[in-house]
Amino acid sequence: GYDLDKRAIQILRENSWGDYTLPTKGLYPYQWNWDSMFVALGFSEIDLDRAWTEVESLFQGQWKNGMAAHIVFRRDSPSYFPGPKVWGGTHDVPTSGCSQPPVAATIVRDLYEKNPEIGKQRLPELFPRLMRWHRWFHTMRVISGGSAIAVTHPWESGRDNSPDWDDALADVDPTGVTPYQRKDLGHVDAAMRPTNAEYDRYIKLVEYGRDCGWDHTQITREGPFAVADPGITFILMRADRDLQALAKYLDKESAVHEIDTWLYRDQIAASYLWNDEINAYSARNLRTGQHADGVSSVGFLSYYGGITKPKRDAKLQKTLSRILDAAPYSVPSFDPQHPKFDSRRYWRGPTWAIVNYLIARGLEEYGFEEKATRIRLDTRKVIQESGFFEYFDPMTGEGSGGNHFTWTAAIWLAWAS
């Protein structure tokens, strides 16, 4: 306990650059959206004021259309590709051109409830920004008639190379992509990262967005890639409810009503994502309707998102038990019994502390305490054995990706220790 607590605090402080925090030096030398929010949660254990500042600084990268960007480029760093120039100068503060899973409102509610006196001072400024961001998702990332939230770049999901995108990504034609040099492989073993074929398509999608002036209506409706993501869909559902609680604290009645119209569509979105073939929620290619055919850990975020359907849940619990039994260090990001499982390769198998935290939080709220505890103890064990890595091999527990990783340290402080 004590030494790891100390080390976790040190990692937060070392990666903190004034009012924002790097995910890890070298590999990710800027401010990332959801990283930053987990970091705020970690800071709330030791320095609540700094936690609020982390959230506020993220929203300096918010666009006029409401989007909170996935990367805020604070200062030029040659250790990263693709930097601000590739994204094409999109905002007063340079940012990337897509978003990331919206955990912010949930974390802000946590911060508020930790100390409502401080919360009352900090929330009024942030609240309208959170509203605008959620509204952006509900208008810009929903295909008409649907309700599940689309990602238009694998980077938007935060789960870059998940098998969830394979089918849709295969339809992205990488021909003519501007020659580039990857930087990530200078920091991390190639076996733990996306492939070059995937990278060509990631960059091609960035170029498409840049060339259409980041017109997100066009990108979502007609762009080369749009997949309904159970991760973002469930995370946003949860965040909508938390945002509504915040609206009530501030007596913002019209916001409460607007959020009701978002919540109204949750059941439809969940039904759209349910996949009877694999007894789990799974991603769907919005251009073809095709479901991903494997179980990703984010499919278990339905509880966190506030969705329960007794018949479906009975099947989902069986699937979760099977997955937990298949990996000694739960929860693998992808089904270990699926042919595409790769225990070291980023989002194709490895276990992530942040996702574990979200899954367990939902399970616990719905009374699945045994599984929630198992996931928490596994998270504690893997950090104790391997350290504060970006992700972990679910079979051996071996630390993978970047080391001294801020969000893993944050989850340790807030939950796993």
Asked if residue 82 has a cis previous peptide bond (ω within 30° of 0), the answer is yes
Chain centroid, CA 279 distance in Å:
23
Which one from 54, 167, 378, 390 is the annotated catalytic residue?
A: 390
CB of 380 to ligand DGY, least distance (A): 25
DSSP for 353-391, please give it: HHHHHHHHHHHHHTT-HHHHHHHHHHHHHHHHHH-S-SE
Rounded Cα–Cα distance for residues 331 and 250 (Å): 37
Nearest to 41 by CA among 106, 103, 107, 101: 107
Lay out the site mask for ligand DGY across 119-158 (x = CB under 6 A, - = otherwise). ------------------------------------x---
Residue number, 54 or 160, with CB nearest to ligand DGY: 160
Residue number, 160 or 378, with CB nearest to ligand DGY: 160
CB of 98 to ligand DGY, least distance (A): 9
Give the strand pairing for 227-228 and 150-151. Answer: antiparallel
Give SS3 for 357.
helix
Q: Could you tell me if residue 63 is left (phi over 0), alpha (psi between -120 and 50 degrees) or otherwise beta?
A: beta
* Count of residues in contact with ligand DGY, rule CB under 6 A: 4
Residue number, 191 or 268, with CB nearest to ligand DGY: 191
Among 167, 184, 258, 393, binds ligand DGY (CB under 6 A): 184
CB of 379 to ligand DGY, least distance (A): 21
Q: Residue 207 catalytic?
A: no
Residue number, 160 or 258, with CB nearest to ligand DGY: 160
Biggest alpha carbon distance in the chain? 56
Q: Residue 240 catalytic?
A: no
Residue number, 26 or 328, with CB nearest to ligand DGY: 26
Does 160 interact with ligand DGY (rule: CB under 6 A)? yes
Helix-helix angle 353-365:369-386, to 10 degrees = 160
Lay out the site mask for ligand DGY across 47-86 (x = CB under 6 A, - = otherwise). -----------------------x----------------
Rounded Cα–Cα distance for residues 243 and 138 (Å): 14
Beta-carbon-side half-sphere exposure of residue 42 (alpha carbons within 13 Å): 35
CB of 12 to ligand DGY, least distance (A): 20
Tokens 């966190």, residue located: 304
Which one from 156, 160, 198, 242 is the annotated catalytic residue?
A: 160
Nearest residue relative to ligand DGY (C-beta): 155
Strand partners, 391: 400
Amino acid at 381: K
Does 35 interact with ligand DGY (rule: CB under 6 A)? no
Does 390 interact with ligand DGY (rule: CB under 6 A)? no
Chain residues that interact with ligand DGY, rule: CB under 6 A: 70, 155, 160, 184
Residues catalogued as catalytic: 160, 390
